Homo-oligomer: A and B are copies of this chain.
Amino acid sequence: MSGRPREFDIDTALDQAVQIFWRQGYEGTAISDLAETLGINRPSLYAAFGNKEALFRKALDRYTATVTSYVQEAFKEPTARGVAERLMLGAADATTREGCPQGCMGVQGALAASVESDRIRYLLSDWRSAAQADIQGRFERARSEGDLPPEVDPADLAAYVTTVMYGIAVRAASGATNAELRRTATLAAQSLPW
Interface residues in chain A, defined as those with a beta carbon under 8 Å from any beta carbon in chain B: 22-25, 27-30, 33, 101, 103, 107-109, 111-115, 117, 125, 128-129, 156, 159-160, 162-171, 173-176, 180, 183-184, 187-188, 190-193
Rounded to whole angstroms, the CA-CA distance of A23 and B113 in the bound complex is: 7
Rounded to whole angstroms, the CA-CA distance of A168 and B128 in the bound complex is: 13
Rounded to whole angstroms, the CA-CA distance of A125 and B103 in the bound complex is: 12
Of chain B, the residue at the smallest CB distance from A26 is: B112
Rounded to whole angstroms, the CA-CA distance of A22 and B108 in the bound complex is: 15
Rounded to whole angstroms, the CA-CA distance of A33 and B101 in the bound complex is: 30
Determine which residue in A115, A170, A171, A180 has the highest number of CB atoms from chain B within 10 A of its CB, and name it.
Answer: A170
A-B contact pairs, 10 of them (CB 8 A): A28-B114, A28-B117, A108-B111, A125-B175, A156-B183, A159-B180, A163-B168, A164-B167, A166-B166, A169-B170
What are the residues of chain B within 8 A of A24 when measuring CB–CB?
Answer: 112-115
Q: Which of B109, B113, B159 contacts A28 (CB 8 A)?
A: B113
- A184, B159: Cβ atoms closer than 8 Å: yes
Q: Which of B27, B164, B173 contacts A27 (CB 8 A)?
A: B27
Rounded to whole angstroms, the CA-CA distance of A176 and B166 in the bound complex is: 13
- A162, B156: Cβ atoms closer than 8 Å: no
Q: Known contacts A125-B175, A187-B193, A190-B193; decide if A25 and B160 are in contact (CB<8 Å).
A: no
- A171, B163: Cβ atoms closer than 8 Å: yes
